[in-house]
């Protein structure tokens, strides 16, 4: 029992300057990760309308928009599995450098894309870098910070993704119909490599484990999937991530289309509706989502990881039909969208907190990448189904989004079978 007269110090007490530096660098990488993913969502109507030579509101644009999001999820899966295992084998630092260069270069090359297969190929390669960098950065933050600060730091790390979404939204608004210039911004993160090379060193836990392997294979998928201690956690984590990613691309991101359709029903011109919808999703809804991501860390410290996942997914089930059907005006929707973003997006910070806590050092990036990016491949068919569902003749977008939100109920069931890691050290 602690002495009630003792002063309570904040979670950040004792965190060193280097630990803050690692958090800053990892977060910067994740900010640009998110930019690379979101810039397509923000510009896809103009991009696909230009390449397909149709209006941005055409059914083909909606179909290929979700199809390419599925391609992005597949690329993230490949990159997450490949680079996660590589980070456990050769180290966090060199793998982070490779992944940042990968998503920066191929995003910039999208400026030159002229047809669908070129866009698909480049989005796949960008996603490989994005998926790999997240697994490495999440593992590094978890290993560098002390146990008492780990959940808060990992939550902050993931919450900075909102800055990437804002950057993508502002870039999309700035370039308007000239979508190609938004992808040139994606080259900028390559400069981050210089900061990584100059400032980041390997985590002590990985260095110690690499020095004393004792027959343990670093980054082995065989050990991850055939050892019952880790395989159950890996499979359940992958299913939980699939729910989060499927609902993100099928439900959360749909706030943009939901806003646009409401405006079109109100008689607003297509170009004006598109610009307002970008702002509504990219800035307003995303602000609420950012608060949700920041809230997950403190909530799971208080309530535990499993209970926090369950409570927030239950709330997401409730808020989705309310956001879809209750607002009758643009102003009313603007009031609900931040709440919608908060409740549907918050669980994603839990992935950065929870997944590294499930696996030992020699499998941490491998297991974290398997969970999050394996979830991507399971979510890809959901994206294709989402595109098909929303493009059905006569289908009400509000009904489609509400039906897709039922995936949160599956997430609640999955988390009931997962272990609680609150208050426990990282497994070694």
Q: Residue 193's domain is classified under what CATH number?
A: 1.20.1250.20
In this prediction, residue 36 carries a pLDDT of: 87
Average pLDDT over residues 350-364: 94
C-alpha angle 183-184-189 in degrees, rounded to nearest 5: 95
Residue 156 lies in a domain: yes
Residue 427 lies in a domain: no
The closest of 314, 300, 343, 309 to 416, measured between CA atoms, is 309
User: Which carries the bigger pLDDT value, residue 8 or residue 105?
Assistant: 105
Quote the pTM value.
0.84
CB 107 within 8 A of CB 130: no
CB 297 within 8 A of CB 151: yes
- With cut-offs at 50, 70 and 90, classify the pLDDT of residue 282: confident
Structure tokens at 177: 């119909």
- With cut-offs at 50, 70 and 90, classify the pLDDT of residue 215: low
CB 326 within 8 A of CB 258: no
Residue 210 lies in a domain: no
Q: Which of 6-20, 136-150, 294-308 has the lowest mean pLDDT?
A: 6-20
The secondary structure of residue 146, as a DSSP letter, is -
Residue 152 lies in a domain: yes
Residue 5 lies in a domain: no
In this prediction, residue 368 carries a pLDDT of: 94
Average pLDDT over residues 11-39: 91
In this prediction, residue 213 carries a pLDDT of: 64
Residue 7 clears pLDDT 60, i.e. is over it: no
- With cut-offs at 50, 70 and 90, classify the pLDDT of residue 295: very high
The closest of 70, 114, 50, 36 to 250, measured between CA atoms, is 70
Nearby residues of 32 by Cβ (< 8 Å), 6 or more positions away: 100, 103, 104, 164, 186, 188, 189, 192
Residue 424 lies in a domain: no
Compute the Cα dihedral for 351, 295, 133, 145 and give only its sign: negative
Q: What is the domain count for the chain?
A: 1
CB 63 within 8 A of CB 395: no
Residue 8 lies in a domain: no
Burial of 177 (0-12, 13-18, 19+ CB in 10 A): middle
Average pLDDT over residues 97-101: 93
Q: Which of 150-154, 199-203, 366-370 has the lowest mean pLDDT?
A: 199-203
Instruction: Report how far apart, in Å, the C-alpha atoms of 159 and of each of 111, 138, 216, 264, 301 are.
Output: 28, 12, 34, 32, 16
CA atoms within 13 A on the CB side of 181: 9
In this prediction, residue 208 carries a pLDDT of: 83
Range of the domain at 301: 17-203+217-415
Residue 428 lies in a domain: no
Residue 371 to residue 304: CA distance in whole angstroms? 19
The mean predicted confidence, pLDDT, of the chain is 89
Helix-then-strand count for the chain, H and E: 20, 0
């Amino acid at each position: 029992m602690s002495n009630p007269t003792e002063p309570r110090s904040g979670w950040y007490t004792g965190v060193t300057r280097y630990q803050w530096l690692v958090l800053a660098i990892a977060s910067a990488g994740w900010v640009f990760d998110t930019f690379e993913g979101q810039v397509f969502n923000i510009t896809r109507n103009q991009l696909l309308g230009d390449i397909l030579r149709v209006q941005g509101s055409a059914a083909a644009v909606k179909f290929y928009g979700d199809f390419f999001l599925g391609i992005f999820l597949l690329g993230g899966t490949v990159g997450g599995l490949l680079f996660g295992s590589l980070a456990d084998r050769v180290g966090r630092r060199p793998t982070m450098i490779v992944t940042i260069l990968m998503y920066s270069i191929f995003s910039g090359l999208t400026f030159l894309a002229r047809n669908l297969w070129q866009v698909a190929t480049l989005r796949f390669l960008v996603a490989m870098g994005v998926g790999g960098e997240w697994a490495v950065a999440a593992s590094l933050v978890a290993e560098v910070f002390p146990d008492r600060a780990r959940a808060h730091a990992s939550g902050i790390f993931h919450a900075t993704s909102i800055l990437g979404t804002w950057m993508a939204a502002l870039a999309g608004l700035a370039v308007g119909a000239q979508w190609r210039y938004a992808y040139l911004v994606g080259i900028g993160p390559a400069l981050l490599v210089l900061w990584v090379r100059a400032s980041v060193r390997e985590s002590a836990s990985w260095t110690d484990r690499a020095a004393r392997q004792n027959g343990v294979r670093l980054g082995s998928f065989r050990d991850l999937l055939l050892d019952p201690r880790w395989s159950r956690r890996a499979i359940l984590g992958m299913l939980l991530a699939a729910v989060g990613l499927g609902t993100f691309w099928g439900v959360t991101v749909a706030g943009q289309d939901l806003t646009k359709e409401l405006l079109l029903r109100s008689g607003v011109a297509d170009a004006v509706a598109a610009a307002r919808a970008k702002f509504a999703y990219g800035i307003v809804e995303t602000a609420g989502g950012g608060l949700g991501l920041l809230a997950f860390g403190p909530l799971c410290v208080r309530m535990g990881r499993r209970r926090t996942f369950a409570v927030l997914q239950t709330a997401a089930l409730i808020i989705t039909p309310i956001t879809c059907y209750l607002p009758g005006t643009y102003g009313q929707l603007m009031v609900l969208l931040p709440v919608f973003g908060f409740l549907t997006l918050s669980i994603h910070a839990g992935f950065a907190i929870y997944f590294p806590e499930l696996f030992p050092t020699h499998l941490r990036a491998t297991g974290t990448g398997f969970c999050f990016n394996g979830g991507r491949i399971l979510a890809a068919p959901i994206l294709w189904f989402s595109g098909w569902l929303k493009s059905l003749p006569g289908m009400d977008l509000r009904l489609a989004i509400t039906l897709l939100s039922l995936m949160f109920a599956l997430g609640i069931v999955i988390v009931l079978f997962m272990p609680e890691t609150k208050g426990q050290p990282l497994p070694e």
